[in-house]
Amino acid sequence: MVRENEVRRNEVMVKRASAEHADAQLEFIGVIHTPWTSRLECPRQGRADGPVCEIEIFEPWIPALAGIEKYARYEVLYWLHQSRRDLVLQSPANDGQVRGTFALRSPVRPNPIGTSIAELVSATGGILKVRGLDCLDGTPLVDLKPDRTIFVPIAPPQKGDFQTG
Ligand code: SAM
pLDDT digits (tens, 9 = 90+) for 115-125: 999 999 999 99
In the predicted model, what is the mean pLDDT of residues 16-41?
Answer: 90
Measured from the Cα of 3, ligand 1's closest atom is: 16
Give 4 or 33, the one with higher predicted confidence: 33
Domains along the chain?
A: 25-84+115-146 (2.40.30.70)
Give 5 or 63, the one with higher predicted confidence: 63
Q: How confident is the prediction for the chain on average, in pLDDT? A: 93
Residue 77 has pLDDT above 80, yes or no: yes
For the chain, percent of residues with pLDDT exceeding 90: 80
CA distance 143 to 126: 14
In the reported structure, the alpha carbon of residue 106 is separated from the centroid of ligand 1 by a whole-number distance in angstroms of: 7
Beta bridge partners of 116: 76
For position 163, what pLDDT does the model report? 63
Measured from the Cα of 105, ligand 1's closest atom is: 4
Q: Which residues line ligand 1 (CB under 6 A)?
A: 2, 39, 42-46, 80-83, 105-107, 114-116, 134-136, 139
CB of 39 within 8 A of CB of 64?
Answer: no
Cis check for the bond before 60: say yes or no (omega within 30 of 0). Answer: yes
Beta bridge partners of 89: 12, 100
In the reported structure, the alpha carbon of residue 44 is separated from the centroid of ligand 1 by a whole-number distance in angstroms of: 6
